[in-house]
Structure 1
Amino acid sequence: MKSTRRLKRMARATKRQKVGLNLTSLMDVFTILVFFLLVNQSTVEVVEPPKEIKLPDSVVEAKPRQTVTIFVSADAVLVQGEPVVSIADVLAAKSENIAPIGDRLTALRDNIIGINTATVAKSNEVTILADRTIPFKVLKRLMSTCTSTGYTRISLAVNQKAHQG
C-alpha cells in the first residue's frame, strides 16, 4: 500500500503520548473545598430540643449562641438537662422567683470549668426552650428568676421557618 501524506500524519498523531487528566489542579480544588467546609461547619450551632417539647414557629434572623439552656416541658423544668422543678410547683409558687431554678443558675455560674464554660457564664445569657402549650405565667416567672440571678439576656428558642417577604 502506498504511503500518503495523510497516512504518515495519522501515524505520527497516534505515536504521540496521550494527554491524561491533570490531578494537581483537581486536588487543589478539593483541598480548598475541604478547608471551606471545615471553617464554616463550626459557625452554625443547632440546638435540638427534646422530643416532648414543641417549639413555636418564627422568622429568625439571629444565629443561636452557646448559652445556658432551660428546657420547659409539659411536666418539668430542666436547667442544662438536669431536672430542677415541676411545672405544678412553679404554678403553685407564691413569689415570682423560683428558688430551685435560681439556685441551679447560681451553681452553674460558680462551677466554671474550661474556656467554653467561662464564656457561657460571663455572657449572662440564657436560652429558654419552652413547649408552645406552656402558659405565659410560667415563662414570666422563669424570666424573672433568670434576671434576679444575673442572667439578663434571655432568648426564647423557636423553630425557624422561611422568611415571608
Structure 2
Amino acid sequence: MKRMARSRRRKTPGMNLTSLMDVFTILVFFLLTNTSSNEALDPPKVITLPDSVVETKPRETVTLMVTADEILVEAKPVIATSEVASSGENVIAAIKEAMQAEMDKAIMVARSGDQAESADGAADSALPPEVNILADRTIPFSLLKKVMSSCTDAGYTKVSLAVIQKASQG
C-alpha cells in the first residue's frame, strides 16, 4: 500500500513545453523569412507581363505602366495609348513632363538604395535615376520604344522592363 501511495505522489501531471517551443520557433522563422521576400512589383490585373529567366529582382523605382488603354506614371493617367501609337514623334511630351515631375522620387530612391556602399554620402550625387516599365505583353515594341525614348529624354538613364520570373532553363 505504501509503495502504491509513493508512486502516485511522484507522478505529478505537467505539460511538456519542449514541443510547443519547437513549433513556435519554426513559426517565427517562417514568418521572418517570408515577410522579407516580398520585394517584387505587383502588376495590376489589366497588365499581363512577359516571362523571363532573369535572376535579379527589380528595385523600387518610379513605375510607368503601359496598358491597352492608357499610360500611367505612378498610377496617374498621363496619355492614351492610342494617341502615342498614332503619333509620329519618338519623344512624347506628356510622358516626358510626367517623368520629370517624378524625378525627385527617382533620385531619392537611388540614393537610399546605394547608401550601403558609401558611408559618407559623397558619391550619391552621381547616381542615375531609374524607371521600371510595366507593359502588357501585347503592346507593340514601336510603342514601347517611344515610351522609353521619352523616359531617357526626361533624364532617366536606367530603364527596366518588368517581367514575370520563371524557372531557369537548366
- SS of equivalent to 1:164: coil
Relative to the length of structure 1, the TM-score reads 0.77
What residue is the counterpart of 1:102 in the other structure? 96
CA distance in structure 1 between the partners assigned to 2:108 and 2:16 by the alignment: 49
CA distance in structure 1 between the partners assigned to 2:71 and 2:165 by the alignment: 23
- Structure 1 residue 158: deviation in Å? 1.2
CA distance in structure 2 between the partners assigned to 1:151 and 1:92 by the alignment: 24
- Pairwise CA RMSD of aligned residues? 3.0
Quick one: percent identity of the two aligned structures?
54
- Structure 1 residue 23: deviation in Å? 3.2
What residue is the counterpart of 1:140 in the other structure? 145
Answer yes or no: is 1:47 the counterpart of 2:44. Answer: no
- Structure 1 residue 103: deviation in Å? 0.3
**Alignment-mate amino acid for residue 148 of structure 2:** M
Relative to the length of structure 2, the TM-score reads 0.75
CA distance in structure 1 between the partners assigned to 2:108 and 2:148 by the alignment: 22
Equivalent residues of 1:56, 1:132 under 8 A apart: yes
CA distance in structure 2 between the partners assigned to 1:20 and 1:59 by the alignment: 54
Matches within 5 A, 1:8-87: 8=3, 11-18=5-12, 20-23=14-17, 26-27=20-21, 30=24, 33-34=27-28, 37-38=31-32, 41-87=35-81
CA distance in structure 2 between the partners assigned to 1:154 and 1:105 by the alignment: 12
- Structure 1 residue 37: deviation in Å? 2.5
Gaps of 5+ in 2: 112-126
What residue is the counterpart of 1:161 in the other structure? 166
Answer yes or no: is 1:126 the counterpart of 2:131. Answer: yes
Q: In terms of Rg, which structure is larger?
A: 1
Q: What is the number of residues matched between the two proteins?
A: 155
CA distance in structure 2 between the partners assigned to 1:64 and 1:13 by the alignment: 66
Note closer, same or farther for the CA distance 1:11–1:73 as it changes in structure 2 (3 Å cut): same
- Structure 1 residue 125: deviation in Å? 1.1
